[in-house]
């Protein structure tokens, strides 16, 4: 079904004005031409800061809370880099470096979906954003009714998959029977479920559950001689890898699932797919997803610009979007399962 003519004109205007904005910024800042090097440096600097913070924590020079918060923030930049890499914005013609960077942004976010698997579903998301068969967004609860359960599973892809699988399986089969998903899509969904959180995500998430259980046993006073020994080697993994990424994923998945619309969107109508989402109460979460809610709607119109460029130009870009029909801070959609039409 074609997008309605009014929306088509709005979309064309937004794309044109954003491209002019980026061209002017690039012309005024020659450093932006070194895109591959900039991406690599951001990755190396972020990873180096994470390693340094971990070392300072091991030698008791920084507190645990500071370590967790800083690593959560740094990994939010790695997520944005991964997103750029999925769109092949760095080292497109140098495959070895490209895959080195994919690995580099994955290792410090090990409970996230494998980026090589996510790549297909993210491109699928751009093709079908807002549809009930947008697998990537449905996977992070977009389109679900607001509830305590939704908040509980937001940061934990494994728990979300286990609890929501019966309903998602039924939805997927309905969309397949409608012709919206192919046999190849079904095979890739099965592959994503089976190996998408391997080799790191499943073991580390299980360790997180074990960590909670061991603390409950300790709190209940069970005298297990091995308890302290188990906690001594699990604890660093929790502080340095798991807890920061649970915080980051909660922030990212909350913001992303509520700034994308789902279920009643006109197919291909980018105006209805996204909003600028930065209500005042979301700012703590915005820090842990690198202000995703403020900039990601821009990306849906112009996909081939790196995340840092969206940050430098976001105020003017937001004005372009809002002046041409993109919603801003529509928090009512949270109550209506992220529907564009509130009813």
pLDDT of residue 211: 92
Share of the chain above pLDDT 70, in %: 99
Residue-wise DSSP of 129-198:
TTSTT-HHHHHTTTTSPP-HHHHHHTT-HHHHHHHHHHHHHHHHHHHHHHTSS-HHHHHHHHHHHHHTTT
Residue 322: partners with Cβ closer than 8 Å, 6 or more residues away: 276, 328
What are the tens digits of pLDDT across the range 233-286? Answer: 899 999 999 999 999 999 999 999 999 999 999 999 999 999 999 999 999 999
253 neighbors 143 (Cβ within 8 angstroms): no
Measured distance CA(258)–CA(297) in Å, rounded: 12
What are the tens digits of pLDDT across the range 23-34? Answer: 999 999 999 999
Domain boundaries, the chain: 5-113+204-335
pLDDT-derived band at 297 (thresholds 50, 70, 90) equals very high
Query: Which tokens go with 166?
Result: 């019966």
pLDDT of residue 184: 98
At residue 219's C-alpha, the angle toward residues 205 and 61, to 5°, is: 65
pLDDT of residue 153: 97
What are the tens digits of pLDDT across the range 153-174? Answer: 999 999 999 999 999 999 999 9
What are the tens digits of pLDDT across the range 32-56? Answer: 999 999 999 999 999 999 999 999 9
pLDDT of residue 1: 57
Cα distances (Å, whole numbers) of residue 198 to 164, 187, 208: 19, 17, 15
**Residue 226 reports pLDDT greater than 80:** no
Task: From 318, 305, 292, select the one nearest 29 (Cα to Cα).
Answer: 305
What are the tens digits of pLDDT across the range 314-324? Answer: 999 999 999 99
**Would you call the peptide bond into 145 cis, given omega within 30 degrees of 0 as the criterion?**
no
pLDDT-derived band at 220 (thresholds 50, 70, 90) equals confident
Residue 305: partners with Cβ closer than 8 Å, 6 or more residues away: 22, 89, 299
341 neighbors 263 (Cβ within 8 angstroms): no
pLDDT of residue 216: 85
What are the tens digits of pLDDT across the range 272-286? Answer: 999 999 999 999 999
**Residue 223 reports pLDDT greater than 70:** no
**Residue 227 reports pLDDT greater than 80:** no
252 neighbors 137 (Cβ within 8 angstroms): no
């Amino acid at each position: 079904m074609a997008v309605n003519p009014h929306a088509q004109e709005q979309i064309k205007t937004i794309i044109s004005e954003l491209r002019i904005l980026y061209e002017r910024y690039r012309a005024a800042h020659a450093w932006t031409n070194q895109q591959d090097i900039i991406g690599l440096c951001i990755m190396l600097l972020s990873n180096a800061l994470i390693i340094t913070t971990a070392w300072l924590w091991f030698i008791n020079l920084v507190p645990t809370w500071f370590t967790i918060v800083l690593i959560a923030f740094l990994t939010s930049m790695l997520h944005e880099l991964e997103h750029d890499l999925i769109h092949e914005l760095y080292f497109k013609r140098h495959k070895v470096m490209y895959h080195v960077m994919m690995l580099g942004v994955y290792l410090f976010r090990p409970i996230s979906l494998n980026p090589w698997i996510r790549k297909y579903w993210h491109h699928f998301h751009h093709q079908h954003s807002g549809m009930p068969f947008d697998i990537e967004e449905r996977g992070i609860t977009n389109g679900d009714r607001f509830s305590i359960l939704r908040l509980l599973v937001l940061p934990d892809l494994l728990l979300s998959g286990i609890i929501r699988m019966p309903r998602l399986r039924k939805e997927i089969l309905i969309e397949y029977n409608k012709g919206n998903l192919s046999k190849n899509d079904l095979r890739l969904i099965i592959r994503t479920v089976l190996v998408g959180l391997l080799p790191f995500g499943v073991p580390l998430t299980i360790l997180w559950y074990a960590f909670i259980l061991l603390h409950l046993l300790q709190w209940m006073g069970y005298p297990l001689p091995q308890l302290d020994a188990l906690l001594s080697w699990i604890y660093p993994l929790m502080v340095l890898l798991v807890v920061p990424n649970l915080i980051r994923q909660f922030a990212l998945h909350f913001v992303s699932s509520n700034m994308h619309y789902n279920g009643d969107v006109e197919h291909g109508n980018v105006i209805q797919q996204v909003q600028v989402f930065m209500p005042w109460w979301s700012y703590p979460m915005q820090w842990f997803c690198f202000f995703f809610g403020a900039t990601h709607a821009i990306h849906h119109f112009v996909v081939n610009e790196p995340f840092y460029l969206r940050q430098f130009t976001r105020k003017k870009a937001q004005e372009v979007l809002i002046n041409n029909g993109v919603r801003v801070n529509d928090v009512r959609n949270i109550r209506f399962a992220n529907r564009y039409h509130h009813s």
